[in-house]
Amino acid sequence: MIEPRVALVTGASSGIGFATASLLAARGYRTFGTSRKPQGTAGPNNVEMVELDVRSDDSVCSAMDNILRQVEHIDVLVNNAGYGLFGAVEETSLAEARAQLETNFWGAVRLTDQVLPSMRERGSGRIINVTSVLGFMPVPFHAYYVASKHALEGYSEVLALEVRPFGVFVTAIEPSWIRSRFFEHRKEAKKSIDAYQRERDVVSPQMRERTEQGRHPDVVARVIYKAINSPNPAVRYTVDLGAGALKAARSFLPSSVFDRLLRRSFGLNKA
């Protein structure tokens, strides 16, 4: 009997991670999902939930030991865990900025370090890094979230070049506005500077609206599934026409024009 392929999806308790783990399990993958507190959250159907805090080396090692006691290896890793940090650069402490990168970037690095040696030795494996359109464009009051996604994009491109000769494929997935609990889960900088208040008050409801009216996470899950099963996947996939249009605008418009469009989009010219 052929053993099913094994997938590990971080941040599987909600949103994109939940949808991706659900789809992989439904398509026959033995799927492990992670959450910092899996006991208090109903996971996706037929997904084995594991406690994991991507910020902690000890937690990552413990979770991997737990999984590898049950399976021989992991075929697919989906690095999805993350959160948003809201606040002006000047309002954000170094500790808050480091915490953002610790989860969104270094968390993915920790998990990749765990699975990559085995994938390379076996000559096969897929590593999917969920980035964002904010991996190639800015959004006001999210500097360190944007920085984490830019970092993950660059890391993914370099890693893809290095490991493809060993049969390991690395792909960055770039969603745009996705309906999720991103807004509810975001953290806000503790410091508040009055000079930024008006613009913050303009951008915050914009972010809530775009998240609440975004595409369903299943759209992202299907693109991830496509990348996993493609014989020759691209290094980057934009998820929908909206993301593709943003990327095209970022690439071809003069930076001054793109900046002006962004400011108008977020209503900053009126603040």
What's the CA gap between 180 and 15, in Å, rounded? 5
Catalytic site includes residue 145: yes
pTM to 2 decimals? 0.92
Where in 82-130 does DSSP place strands (E)? 85-86, 125-130
Q: What is the DSSP letter of 266?
A: T
All domains in the chain, ordered by first residue: 6-270 (3.40.50.720)
Banded pLDDT at 1 (limits 50, 70, 90)? low
3-state secondary structure of 40: helix
For residue range 181-216, list pLDDT tens digits in order.
777 788 999 999 999 999 999 998 888 888 888 889
Q: pLDDT digits over 241-265, tens only? A: 777 888 888 888 898 998 888 888 8
Question: Whose CA is closest to 134, among 143, 147, 146?
Answer: 146
Q: Which of 29, 145, 196, 225 is catalytic?
A: 145
What local confidence, expressed as pLDDT, does residue 213 receive?
A: 82
The confidence score (pLDDT) of residue 270 equals: 57
Does residue 158 contact residue 114 with C-beta atoms inside 8 Å?
no
Q: Using the CB atoms, write b or e for 212-234: b if 16+ within 10 Å.
A: eebbebbbbbebbbebbeeeebe
- State the Cα angle at 47 between 42 and 48, rounded to 5°: 90
Give SS3 for 211.
Answer: helix
Per residue in 82-137, pLDDT (tens digit) is 999 999 999 999 999 999 999 999 999 999 999 999 999 999 999 999 999 889 98
